[in-house]
């Protein structure tokens, strides 16, 4: 079952956050042989999505999610849903994080 984690993204700003996967002993899960993917959608059934940049930290268990300033500017303010999935070398996909993304509108237009 995926961990619930809600995110706040500032519209027009670069976004980055790091999450760590740990086992039941609180040790980092080795993600060396995994790939990652994550998307934001307005609703679960929306046809369009914004892809996070996903960087896995190998044996540290970290997953870094990122969005460029251009990507966040293209998103309307409001609430969205997201999830993060990792795929192991044999093709098994696991959803590890999911939740709501709130895009906070920006005032400054450069």
User: What residues does each domain of the chain span?
Assistant: 3-104
> pTM for the full model?
0.91
How far apart are alpha carbons 11 and 5 in whole angstroms? Answer: 19
What is the CATH code of the structural domain delimited by 3-104?
A: 2.60.40.10
**What is the pLDDT at residue 79?**
98
**pLDDT score of 109 more than 80:** no
pLDDT in tens, 29-63: 999 999 999 999 999 999 999 999 999 999 999 99
How far apart are alpha carbons 20 and 44 in whole angstroms? Answer: 24
CB 56 within 8 A of CB 62: yes
Average pLDDT over residues 80-104: 97
How far apart are alpha carbons 87 and 64 in whole angstroms? Answer: 15
Q: CA 56, 61, 66 angle in degrees (round to 5)? A: 40
């Amino acid at each position: 079952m995926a961990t619930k984690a809600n995110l706040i993204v500032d519209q027009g700003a670069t976004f980055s956050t790091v999450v760590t996967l740990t086992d039941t002993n609180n040790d980092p899960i080795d993600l060396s042989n995994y790939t990652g993917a994550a998307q934001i959608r307005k609703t679960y059934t929306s046809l369009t999505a914004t892809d996070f940049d996903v960087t896995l930290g190998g044996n540290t268990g970290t997953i870094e999610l990122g969005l460029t300033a251009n990507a966040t500017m293209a998103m309307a303010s409001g609430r969205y849903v997201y999830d993060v999935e990792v795929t192991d070398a044999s093709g098994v996909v696991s959803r590890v994080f999911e939740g709501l993304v709130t895009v906070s509108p920006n005032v400054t237009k450069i």
